[in-house]
Amino acid sequence: MRYISTRGNAPFRPFSEIVLSGLAPDGGLYLPETYPVIGEQELEQWRRLPYRELAFQVIRRFASDPDEADLRAIIDRTYTARTYRSEEIVPLTTVDGDVHILGLSNGPTLAFKDMAMQFLGNLFEHILERTGRTLNLLGATSGDTGSSAEYAMRGKRGIRVFMLSPYGKMSPFQTAQMYSLTDPNIVNLAVRGVFDDCQDLVKKILADGSFARSHGLGTVNSINWARVVAQVVYYFKGYFAATRTSDQEISFSVPTGNFGNVCAGHIARQMGVPIRKLILATNENDVLDEFFRTGVYRVRSSADTYQTSSPSMDISKASNFERFVFDLAGRDPVTIRDLWTRIDSLGRFDLSGTEMFSRIGQFGFVSGASTHSDRLRTVRDLYHRHGLLLDPHTANGLKVGLEHKEKGIPLVCLETALPAKFEAFIVEAIGRRPPRPTGTETIESLPQRFHLIDADEAAVRRILEESPLL
């Protein structure tokens, strides 16, 4: 399997090379030349596979390197009952008849990002060992990505993590998760500023090619292709868990920020999983809901990006969206270059009334948005009727999912975090604190370790430079 860029001006590359790089050299995103298609018979055979075996079957279709034995070993190390708290890895809970929640948040940081990030940690370590290279991962986080990356990379040979986070802006639980890590290869940079300041610093430093090369810099942001591929697996698993035979259709509802999770759903659908609808849910930051309703994609400024009670969905533009638009455009890189030139100059493009937008129905997407009061109501209602507790992100997904629920079509809502991560919200919703998984009960009282810095590029560079290369 070879990889191409959505902008059409990058050489073909194999899997193990593209997963270590971010954007393609032409500024596009990597995608496989074609999607592997799984026939109905094969799908039926996969139905009974345990998670690890299913993950191997799916990921192998996208990764011709590492070789099969190595890939299997990486996957077997990743998807364990020890890391994800049950042998099922992603347990399905039935809420009401044929409405289900797929539990993707039982990994070490209690958010679905662990599903892919744990795999990435083991994959990177393997690739670096084979090539003798080392990697300094530089990233910015508003909460979940940073902790997920740190827990995936801690103690890994040849890898160090420098993670910028907005000082005082994350939930106390998220802050404690990151800052309490004491592994020498994890460096937390608490920035006096907001998430966008952190993101800008990372972008500026990575844009300095010679500095990035000489310091072996890389990223694990949401455009990383291996993350998307690892997420495809649980769409298969969720499909099997909610159906009996492989001629049945189901719909998924997906709380969305950077379009990473739902991009994996799009790919699972292209591969042949009988997904009727991909229900995309946003919060008040409704860039993507607006696009799927109207055809207008309009990125927001940071001043127009709201801070909400589902902070991991507070995005102003969706970094993986270009992958879907490439498919929508019939995989024409000229169209993509043109559209993203418009984004760069005008901050928007408008596909309404075009032949291209009229094809959108073929891809199964529908969308909706949810507000703070919707989240509260959804969480309260589910708790009082069923004794189940959801985090505010998953609540966005359930709210919008139910609006699009069709009779006779099972609905699987992807759970993207556990309520324990968002205690203040849960207290507001139901008047009591959420239960905490074993081992996290007193996390806020652990000693914390971080560098407190101004939103200043020189300060970040200094810390990178002062940390000796591994």
Ligand X SMILES: *Cc1c(COP(=O)(O)O)cnc(C)c1O
The CA–CA distances, whole Å, from 254 to 232, 262, 278, 372, 394 equal 13, 6, 7, 17, 8
In the complex, what is the shortest distance from the CB of residue 290 to ligand X, in angstroms, rounded to a whole number? 15
- Give whichever of 185 and 222 is closer to ligand X, judged by the CB atom: 222
In the three-class reduction of DSSP (H, G, I as helix; E, B as strand; rest coil), residue 67 is classed as coil
Alpha helices in 305-412 (DSSP H): 321-328, 333-346, 355-358, 372-386, 392-403
Helices and strands in the chain, H and E counts: 20, 15
Residue 120: phi, psi to the nearest 5?
-60, -40
The nearest distance, CB 171 to ligand X, in angstroms, is 11
Which helix (H) or strand (E) element contains residue 367?
strand 365-369
Smallest separation (angstroms) from ligand X to the CB of 376: 17
Which burial class, exposed, middle or buried, applies to 436 when counting CB atoms under 10 A from its CB (0-12, 13-18, 19+)? middle
Q: How far is the CB of 412 from ligand X (least distance, A)?
A: 16
Q: Which is nearer to ligand X, 136 or 145 (CB)?
A: 145
Q: How far is CA 436 from CA 109, 151, 380, in A?
A: 12, 18, 18
Supply 200's token pair.
């800008």
**Cα(296)–Cα(21) distance, rounded to whole angstroms?**
30
Report, in Å, the least distance between residue 468 CB and ligand X: 32
CB of 112 to ligand X, least distance (A): 6
Between residues 246 and 378, which has the closer beta carbon with respect to ligand X? 378
| Minimum CB distance to ligand X smaller for 38 or for 417 | 417
Contact of 111 with 144, CB cutoff 8 Å: yes
- Residues contacting 73, CB < 8 A, separation 6+: none
- Write down the catalytic residue from 113, 237, 277, 399: 113
- Closest residue to ligand X: CB criterion: 260
Nearer to ligand X, 256 or 335 (CB): 256
Give the DSSP H/E element, type plus range, for residue 468.
none
State in angstroms the smallest separation of the CB of 206 from ligand X. 19
**Of 210, 202, 146, whose CA–CA distance to 176 is shortest?**
146
The single-letter code of the amino acid at 298 is: R
- Examine the residue annotation and report whether 113 is marked as an active-site residue of this protein: yes
Distance CA(88)–CA(252), nearest Å, equals 19
Specify the residue, 231 or 251, whose C-beta has the smaller distance to ligand X. 231
Q: Which residues bind ligand X (CB under 6 A)?
A: 111, 113, 144, 222, 255-261, 312-313, 393, 416-417
Write down the least CB distance from residue 179 to ligand X, Å.
18
Distance from C-alpha of 89 to C-alpha of 101, rounded to nearest angstrom: 13
Q: What angle do CA 274, 276, 278 make, to 5 degrees?
A: 110
Residues with Cβ within 8 Å of 3's Cβ and at least 6 positions away in sequence, in order, are 12, 13, 14, 15, 18, 30, 31, 32, 33, 225
Q: Between 258 and 316, name the residue whose CB sits nearer to ligand X.
A: 258
Q: Which is nearer to ligand X, 260 or 368 (CB)?
A: 260
- Catalytic positions: 113
